[in-house]
Amino acid sequence: MEGPLYEQIYKYVFEKIKNGELQSGGRVPSEKELADQFNVSRITSKKALEMLSANRLIERVQGKGSFVAEALPESIDSLLATAKDPQSWKLVGLILPDFAESYGLRLIHGVEERCSELGGRMLMKITYDKREEEEAAIRSFLQLGVDGFIIFPVHGEHYNSELLRLVLDKYPLVFVDRYLKGLAACSVYSDNRAAAFDITKYLLDRGHSQIGFISLPVENTSTIEDRIQGYTDALIQHGLRLNPQHLMTNLYSSVPRSFEERNVQVDFENVKKFVELNPGLTAFVAVEYNLALILREVLLSMGKDIPGECSIVCFDSPRNPFGKYLFTHVSQDEFGMGQRAAELLQQQWESKEVPFNNIIPYTIVKGDSTE
């Protein structure tokens, strides 16, 4: 059988009812029995039974189990097709660490708009970049009966158990913004290595040879790892060696929730020490917009002229209808990323093969932070 595992279980029980192997009033295998038989979680088998119940094929009795309905629907032959219908049963759970005007907001718009066009509805939960919140969000959405997930994973060295279970159960799922190493799952993201290479080359082509790089901790996060690698590649191509002292990866004021006075002040002081320890740096690559803001304030507080003495580039920026931007930056097509994620989820519902790696184009946008 093909298709999502909960749909396979649905079809399995449906066929047994249709051919009379399971008769009216007869007991249907329990969530645990089906989970063991198909080697899936009980959440997956529960969803299949809930679909059968909603189609009036079975009746679920609290504390006793599930039983074939005494009066089956007259249109039972059409109910298997209903399970396949991409316009039915489609509730999408969108889980993301946070969002801001600089990054995340247009991603949400892309997911919601394409979901609506495909006949789906979207639920959303913010995790504030906490693994336990991500895990709880997955559990709660499964209990609500979502048909698929679009997940912007949290930063961290380890993946949560609920997320791993979704992948193992082949639950309809798309990761956005990054791929998760070691997991065979569908992902939509920018080519961060190439983007970091291009934005670093932008500085090199303008005569900068001493370029710093500031970011969050790497923590097994593919996005940051790829950006560091792209930065390194650009230096090497220009005949320069990576100086580890020019790399700073211990900042935390990235997502809006953490962009508070206390956290920002800590990062401000750390960035200032970094700049003071590296007086020869004339340009900087910031891995996110909020970190570029902190860096800019540090440089201005030290009397540095931007872009005269120091240049700054970063990833992402709030949109400006007049085309004026504070920073030269990599502009990711987050709206397109969201739309593509919804389309890939749709293809999984239709039991189509989907590529694991789906790369969305980016552009380099000139701002006031470079000459």
Bridge partners of 151, per DSSP, are 95, 175
Higher pLDDT, 236 or 58: 236
Q: How far apart are CA 94 and CA 75, in angstroms?
A: 34
Kindly report the backbone phi and psi dihedral angles of residue 134, in degrees, each rounded to the nearest multiple of 5, phi listed first: -65, -45
Lowest mean pLDDT segment, chosen from 66-70, 85-89, 143-147: 85-89
CA angle 20, 23, 28 (to 5 degrees): 110
Phi then psi dihedrals of residue 219, to 5 deg: 45, 45
d(Cα 206, Cα 370) in Å, to the nearest integer? 9
Q: Is the pLDDT of residue 342 over 80?
A: yes
Q: Are 155 and 217 in contact (CB under 8 A)?
A: yes
Query: What would the mean pLDDT of 364-369 be, rounded to a whole number?
Result: 97
Residue 69 has pLDDT above 50, yes or no: yes
Q: Supply the pLDDT for residue 246.
A: 98
pLDDT at residue 90, rounded to an integer: 82
Average pLDDT over residues 195-218: 96
Handedness of CA 98, 103, 105, 106 (dihedral sign): negative
Q: Which residues pair with 248 in a beta bridge?
A: 214
pLDDT value for 70:
82
Q: Which residues of 112-141 are buried (b: 16+ CB within 10 A; e: fewer)?
A: bebbeebebebebbbbebbbebbbebbeeb
Q: What are phi and psi of 190, to 5 degrees?
A: -85, 160
Say yes or no to pLDDT of 108 above 70.
yes
Q: Cα(125)–Cα(347) distance, rounded to whole angstroms?
A: 23
Q: Which of 93, 9, 20, 86 is nearest to 45 (CA)?
A: 9
**294 or 221, which is more confident?**
294
Give the pLDDT of residue 156: 75
Query: CATH: 3.20.20.80, 3.40.50.2300, 2.30.30.220, 3.40.190.10. Which one for 91-189+334-360?
Result: 3.40.50.2300
* Residue 51 pLDDT: 82
pLDDT value, residue 24: 87
Q: What proportion of the chain, given as a percentage, has pLDDT over 90? A: 58
pLDDT, one tens digit per residue, over 270-328 is 999 999 999 999 999 999 999 999 999 999 999 999 999 999 999 999 998 888 999 99
- Per the model's pLDDT, the better-predicted residue between 332 and 60 turns out to be 332
Report whether pLDDT(77) > 70: no
What's the CATH number for 5-82? 1.10.10.10
Pair of tokens at residue 160: 């949560």
For the residues 239-246, what does the mean pLDDT come to?
A: 95
Q: Is the pLDDT of residue 257 over 70?
A: no
pLDDT for 301: 97
Q: Where are the domains of the chain?
A: 5-82, 91-189+334-360, 192-332
Among the listed residues 208, 217, 277, the one whose alpha carbon sits nearest the alpha carbon of residue 245: 277
Window from 17-21, 167-171, 266-270, 355-359 with minimum mean pLDDT: 17-21
Confidence of residue 219 (pLDDT cuts 50, 70, 90): confident
Quick one: pLDDT at residue 43?
79
Domain 192-332 has CATH 3.40.50.2300: yes
Of the two residues 108 and 63, the one the predictor is more confident about is: 108
Check residues 252 and 293 and name the one with the higher pLDDT. 293
> How far is the C-alpha of 244 from the C-alpha of 125, rounded, in Å?
37
Query: Is residue 97's pLDDT more than 60?
Result: yes
Determine the pLDDT at residue 88: 55
Count CB atoms within 10 A of the CB of residue 210. 15
Q: Is 256's pLDDT higher than 80?
A: no
What is d(CA 347, CA 2) in angstroms, rounded to the nearest whole number?
Answer: 13
The mean of the pLDDT values for the chain is 89
Of the CA atoms within 13 Å of residue 223, those in its CB half-sphere come to: 21
Over 50: is that where the pLDDT of 85 sits?
Answer: no
**Residues 141-164: tens digit of each pLDDT:** 988 888 899 999 988 777 888 999
91-189+334-360 and 192-332 in the same fold:
yes
Enter the pTM of the model: 0.80
Which value, in Å, is the radius of gyration of the alpha carbons in the chain? Answer: 25
Q: Which of 166, 169, 173, 150 is nearest to 334 (CA)?
A: 150
Using an 8 Å Cβ cutoff, are 178 and 222 in contact?
A: yes
The answer to whether residue 83 scores a pLDDT higher than 70 is no
**Which residue is listed with tokens 């701002």?**
367
**Residue 1: which pLDDT band, with cuts at 50, 70 and 90?**
very low
